[in-house]
Amino acid sequence: MVKPCLASRMDGFTLLEIMVALAVFATLATAVLSASQYVVKQSAVVEQRLLAAWVADNQLNELRLQSAPANGQSQHTVHMASRDWLLRQRVGDSSEPRLLTVDIEVSLADRDQSLHQVTAWIADRDE
């Protein structure tokens, strides 16, 4: 009579190996989720800054098209991309007599934090 092998070999993973694999997977999944949340948050910030740059560029081009922009400071609200933007601009003389210095600062209308600032020079049409 043939005796059955006492140490029969079983194929597959042990419970301990499965638990370790699940722990490693859970750790990696948490890290990937955290990184993806960071990317989504940063993309929203980049979108806001890009739109703020477009708002400032539009305002600067409007000032370039005016016959004689008034010196001084002004502040007004612009609606673009389903948002209200607050523009603060200062037009003043520059060291070159034929140019005016323009400083534009853009922020969301409900926030104080500036998203974009630009300084440019435009032709003084009075000269």
β-bridge pairing 72-80 and 99-108: unpaired
Q: Is the pLDDT of residue 79 over 70?
A: yes
What are the angstrom distances between the C-alpha of 103 and each of 28, 34, 69, 106?
47, 39, 13, 10
Q: Residue 6: pLDDT band by 50, 70, 90 thresholds?
A: low
- Measured between alpha carbons, how far is 79 from 2 in angstroms, rounded to an integer? 90
| pLDDT reported for residue 52 | 97
Residues with Cβ within 8 Å of residue 113, at least 6 apart in sequence: 107
Per-position b or e across 16-29, b if 16+ CB within 10 A of its CB:
eeeeeeeeeeeeee
Task: For residue 113, give both structure tokens.
Answer: 């934090």
How does the average pLDDT of the chain come out, rounded? 90
Tell me the C-alpha distance between 56 and 94, whole Å. Answer: 20
pLDDT at residue 4, rounded to an integer:
58
Is pLDDT of 59 > 70?
yes
